[in-house]
Amino acid sequence: MSESVESSEAKDKALKRALPRVFALDAQSPSLKARIPLSPNQKAWRRFKDNRIAMFSGVFLLATFSLVLAWPILSSPTIAVRLPKAVGHSASALSESQFAAPTAEHWFGTDVHGRDLLSRVFYGARISILVGVVGASVSLVIGVLWGAVAGYVGGRWDNFMMRFVDILYSLPSIVFVIVLITTLEAIFKDWLSRTFSPELGALARLLFLFVGLGAVSWLTMARIVRGEVLSLRTRNFIDASRALGASHLGIIFRHILPNIVGIIIVYLTLTVPSIVLYESFLSYLGLGIQPPQASLGSLIAEGASQINPIRIYWWMIIFPSVFLTATLLALNFVGDGLRDAFDSRLERR
């Protein structure tokens, strides 16, 4: 009897040792992996990785943003001595080599004041991207709150709020920003100088671009969010939350907005390039970033002003234009890739 008990115990131990190996082999089998359900975010990431143009654009933007942010550190005297000489120039350093063509010392050439154009391009890109990100953040806050409230409340308030959006849609947004800058900038600059400091008053134009471009770019975001909220507010889980005593703000911020965060991210990435393009256009007209600061639009305008029948300093307009075009194309490709990735209708692909 004791021998049978010992043999059964030995079999149990052997079985326990063999089971983890069996499950490990089954877990690695392709058939079992195919049966494991993926979350919506995992499916979106898989579709985004399959989009080669979007992935390449994402890598390009990551490298570009890293260089733009790290350029002041790379051009510092302590680090510049270990790098090629063309990288160590300051964006504001003047020299006697005006209008120098691209060389080994100045990869992008120099401008009218002898400043290194490569450093100026990265400095201007930092300003343009900053305006785009901050302006998109302003449009994100206004558009999401406006659309969520309009879609959740419904009725007359929804009708009133969306008719207000339609009125703003009928106005030319870029003209509105131009009127805002030309009429209110002097008053705002004087108030900042008297209330805070003259240094802050010098940034009045930049603050106007932040607020003005963001304030006219939230309309599409509000419409998209409102449509998604209208489709979600009648779902069963919203009725259950309401029956359990959840507040209206709790339902919006805890149950509705987390379910549409993918769509919000998509349209946020599509808003950034439009704001960057608006800023570049305003700077090209002389209504954007003012010297000694620079943006990609102001650099293009400076290069265009040097075009004459005698000689064309092509590097002053080609390099900022190519950098701006490549950045805008990459941002749009990433936005299109995210939009396709979060589209549930592409799940079967």
- Kindly report, residue by residue over 139-183, the tens digit of the pLDDT: 999 999 999 999 999 889 999 999 999 988 888 888 888 888 888
- Are 112 and 299 spatial neighbours (Cβ–Cβ below 8 Å)? no
The answer to whether 209 and 131 have CB atoms below 8 angstroms apart is yes
| DSSP assignment of 169-228 | HHS-HHHHHHHHHHHHHHHHHHHHHHHT-HHHHTTHHHHHHHHHHHHTS-HHHHHHHHHH
User: Mean pLDDT across the stretch 97-122?
Assistant: 87
How many other CB atoms sit within 10 Å of the CB of residue 183?
A: 9
Q: What percent of the residues of the chain are helix, what percent strand, and what percent coil, each to the nearest 5?
A: 75, 0, 25
d(Cα 106, Cα 98) in Å, to the nearest integer? 11
Give φ, ψ of 141 to 5 degrees. -65, -50
* Domain 47-346 -> CATH class: mainly alpha
Three-state DSSP state, 116: strand
Largest CA distance in the chain: 111
Please state, rounded to an integer, the average pLDDT across all residues of the chain.
82
Structure confidence at residue 322 as a pLDDT band (50, 70, 90) = very high
Per-residue pLDDT band for 347 (boundaries 50, 70, 90) equals low
Res 14 pLDDT > 60: no
- Return the pLDDT at 163: 92
Burial class for 73, CB neighbours closer than 10 Å (0-12, 13-18, 19+): exposed
Find out whether the peptide bond into 292 is cis, omega within 30 degrees of 0: yes
The per-residue pLDDT for range 240-254, each reduced to its tens digit, is: 988 888 888 888 888
144: amino acid identity, one letter = V
Residues 256-291: tens digit of each pLDDT: 888 888 888 888 888 888 888 888 888 888 888 877
User: What is the pLDDT, as a whole number, of residue 145?
Assistant: 93
